[in-house]
Structure 1
Amino acid sequence: MTFQDILDTFAVLDDWEARYEFISELEGKLHPLLPHEQVDYNLVPGCNTRTWLTGSLIATQPPRIDYRADAETPLVRGLVALLLTPFQDQTPADVLAIDAMALLGQTGLDTHLSPNRRAGMAHFIERVYQIARELQSVTP
């Protein structure tokens, strides 16, 4: 699923209750954490719901990032899947070039989430970029 697919789905759903249900269903799109990755080191700081995120390079040419994540609730797992959609399987440089907040503005989520959830999303996105910067430094 692409980010455009998400925008197209949002456009046909009548209300935010239906959109939240769709977001919750996105949790199935997450690349799951490996058993040893659900540790405090991979917790995203600033998220009210415990949310884990890690990423590693896939041995492609050029190397791309495989982000893996989990969270304690279905809605947050769905939000995480939505947030990761534009970043998944991109090169570190491509990830760092994405304006995530502009993309999210297209969904309308920035005006329909609580301030705490918006802050958590910002912390999550910053962690996405941090992982990309770390992996970019080891990319040949």
Structure 2
Amino acid sequence: MANAATEELIENFSLFDDWEERYAYLIDLGRKLPDLPEAERTPESKVEGCMSQVWLLSEVEPGNPPVIRYRADSDSQIVRGLIAVLMTAYSGEPADRIIATDINDIFNRIGLDRHLSPNRRNGFYAMVQRISDTAARAMKASS
């Protein structure tokens, strides 16, 4: 269940004929992400399981269901691109929709499933797990 922005992102990736072009587009997406201030790059915001350094923060807006906004950053350009994909899919969405989003489907449709190293894939899923955990906690708190 992808949102409209994610569907557009998937469509944009489909415009590229080969992986090198998709890779360049992914890096470009990462360059457009705002940097996290140093003060927010804390041990609490750091995502464990990533080879690169990744920091992920969330802000829960009360509601039924609550809406969650995510901000993240990395010291790796390719990981910043992966973060951009995740922010498109998840940030600003209601918690129940975040939980229901099939990131594997999005990942496959973009073609990332075939072109990331196992270590980057593990880091990607560590970020997804953190996002899902945040959404689940927000849903529980709102009940």
The separation in 1 between residues aligned to 2:64 and 2:32, in whole angstroms, is 24
Q: Helix, strand or coil: the match of 2:85?
A: helix
The separation in 2 between residues aligned to 1:95 and 1:130, in whole angstroms, is 10
The separation in 1 between residues aligned to 2:96 and 2:64, in whole angstroms, is 13
RMSD of equivalent CA atoms: 2.1
Aligned residues: 140
What's 1:100 paired with? 103
TM-score (norm: length of structure 2)? 0.86
1:75 deviates by: 1.6
Q: Helix, strand or coil: the match of 1:40?
A: coil
Farther-moved stretch of structure 1 (40-49 vs 128-137): 128-137
Give the % identical residues: 33
Gaps of 5+ in 2: none
Gaps of 5+ in 1: none
Farther-moved stretch of structure 1 (21-30 vs 43-52): 21-30
What's 1:43 paired with? 46
Does structure 1 residue 91 correspond to structure 2 residue 91?
Answer: no
The separation in 2 between residues aligned to 1:24 and 1:14, in whole angstroms, is 16
The separation in 1 between residues aligned to 2:101 and 2:25, in whole angstroms, is 24
What's 2:57 paired with? 54
| Matching residue within 99, 118, 122 for 2:121 | 118
